[in-house]
A and B are shown apart, each in its own frame.
Chain A
Amino acid sequence: MRREGSVFQGLGAVVLKELSDQMSSIRIFVLELLVAAIAFVALYRAIGRLADTTAEDPFVFLRLFTVDTPPVPSFAGLLGFLIPLVAIGLGFDSVSSEHNRRTLSRVLSQPIYRDALLMGKFLAGMATLGIMLLGLWLLVIGFGLYLLGVPPSGDEVLRSLVFLIIALFYCGVWLALAMLLSIVFRSAATSALVALGLWLFFVLIWPILSSALAQVIAPQDIRYVLLGLPTPATVEMQQALARLSPNQLFAESVLAILSPSTRSLGPIFLEQLQGAVVGTALPLRQSLLIAWPQIVGLIASTIVLFVAGYVVFQRQEVRA
């Protein structure tokens, strides 16, 4: 059955309203302050370590994102850890709060479709996250220029921009997940707890669990064990399982993009390295090819989660 009128009617109004709400909300302010502070610490330590080797490294700017100075993880690693938190903070009550404030039926009785409301909330969330990421990116570049004293090369700028886009899709996954939970659960507290639970699960538990599961599904071959080598089947299974986590996808694609010498994200056999000059940088296109499956995985997860939320929302009763 066809409905008349554009699905996008009112989308702009919703995006503007949500964006202005988010920009002025204390919750987002605190989250951004937290991210900025942590990013600053990571950067500061990275610069302290890189300052000595500036001249030796052709990709010193990209090192700003990837160098870790234990106990502080790298800037990119920190983002992988913090982005979900910010996205959850943005999305965990985006729909349920409309229910609880009893504004939903009033807003939906205006000439818009539900699609516009949900899409508008998602786009506004992405815009907020995008602005935050862009701010952080500028912070890194600015600090790098000031403290390292070398300008980034064109390739470095391009790679870091690709990193920015990947990070945005990673945001999308978590935002779509948080919004899905906000649609399914009427209580904001439940939705937040479930979202944070999933976040902890993927950050802390899944990496351990996936290798344990891999051992069970594809047991180690005694011949490899005797030689002191990992069994290829087990390693592959472990990687396949680990890649179910968006965090893993993000970490791998960032590795490929920000470390130009990365040649593979999986196990490599020695024969595959014949003729390769190990340690040399790949062109950006080749790095993109390596990370492409991971990037597509992130985009696809975003879409799947958003559509799931969309379907549930369309079927939901409006009345409180």
Chain B
Amino acid sequence: MTETVITARGLTKRYRRATVVDGIDFDVAKGEIFGLLGPNGAGKTTTILMMLGLTDVTDGEVRVLGYDPVRQPLAVKRRVGYLPDSVGFYDYLTATENLAYTARLMGFAPAERTHRITDALSRVQLRDVANQAVRTFSRGMRQRLGLAEIVMKGAEIAILDEPTSGLDPQATVDFLALIEQLKHEGVTVLLSSHLLDQVQRVCDRVALFQTGRIVLQGTVPELAKEVLGAGFVVEVDAVAPPGADLEARLLAVPGVSAVQRAGDRYRLTAVRDVRPDAARAVVAADGALTQLSVDTPSLEAIYTRFFQRNARPEGVRDAA
């Protein structure tokens, strides 16, 4: 097991009446992208704020890089970068000036400030507009500037709250690429979102929040196995020789739970990647294999199925 950088045990946040986060447990390993997933008001942002020491913990505990955010918030905040939901900057200042303020708050020396800011801005392709007032920036540029701030801080953990909501598709793709780049540099990323396909695209593991609890946790295939009963969909395009029942043979492959046929295409639902076995089965039946592909079930399918199955009488709370 790799090093754990964030641990939460029985983490709870209660306001006067409502329990917003209700005894959640999770671990985040160093260098992974961990997705916090769930409808609005499920407790994702509150969990993040507790990790940063920006709101009090009612019960339970959380450790970030070994520090307690309640008692040692400065140590935590020095090492963790946070990009809030719809991040704001001082409009009348330039990108460089905004980052310079953060750098001063971090206590960097003047010379170090300059090169850190320049580096960070080039990393997110904002070098050309470094001296323009943030007022003129598009939403995508602001989000990238927020990411530049995290890069500039040299954060070990980046916490991104709904970073891609409201971005156009191209900006989203660019932004996700930047997140993956962070991961390659060894930064642990915590990504909160309700945009499922994006989470699936970049996250190593996800935790699914519902009304303050983590109801599912794991890699996407693991979740798929738990919710849909299968983790993989293998598509086999093969022309069956006359007389051979390819469908039955594929169904007999160990691990396959269902086969759907559409012409010469077979969709196998399986608990693991059964491509080698499926290919062998086709070849053994003298079939002509033309294409073989594997697909993990979409997170959206898992999510939808999960909430259908667990629909409570009162429904999912939807507090904004």
B-contacting residues of A (Cβ < 8 Å)? 1-5, 9-10, 12-14, 16-17, 21, 101-103, 105-113, 317-320
Contact = CB atoms under 8 A, between A and B. Distances in A.
Contacts of A319: 45-46, 49, 55, 85
16 contacts: A1-B71, A10-B105, A13-B104, A14-B105, A21-B92, A103-B88, A105-B84, A106-B82, A106-B89, A107-B102, A108-B54, A109-B84, A111-B75, A111-B78, A112-B77, A319-B85
A4 B69 CA distance: 10
Given A106-B87, A109-B54, A318-B49, A17 B75 contact: no
Contact of A111 (B74, B89, B146): B74
Nearest to A7: B74
Interface of B: 45-46, 49, 52, 54-55, 70-75, 77-78, 80-92, 101-102, 104-107, 146, 149, 153
Given A1-B71, A106-B149, A317-B55, A111 B77 contact: yes
A10 B103 CA distance: 10
Given A3-B72, A17-B101, A106-B146, A101 B107 contact: no
Given A4-B74, A13-B101, A106 B55 contact: no
B102 A110 contact: yes
Contacts of B101: 13, 17, 107
Contact of A9 (B74, B84, B88): B74
Given A13-B105, A16-B104, A105-B54, A112 B149 contact: no
Contacts of B107: 9-10, 111
A111 B55 contact: no
Contact of B74 (A105, A113, A320): A113
Contacts of B85: 319-320
Contacts of A108: 54
Contacts of A102: 84, 86-88
Given A106-B82, A108-B54, 12 more contacts: A2-B71, A4-B74, A10-B104, A17-B101, A17-B104, A105-B82, A106-B87, A106-B146, A106-B149, A111-B73, A112-B74, A320-B86
Contacts of A3: 70-73
A228 to B, nearest CB: 61
A110 B77 contact: yes
Contacts of B49: 105, 318-319
A149 to B, nearest CB: 46
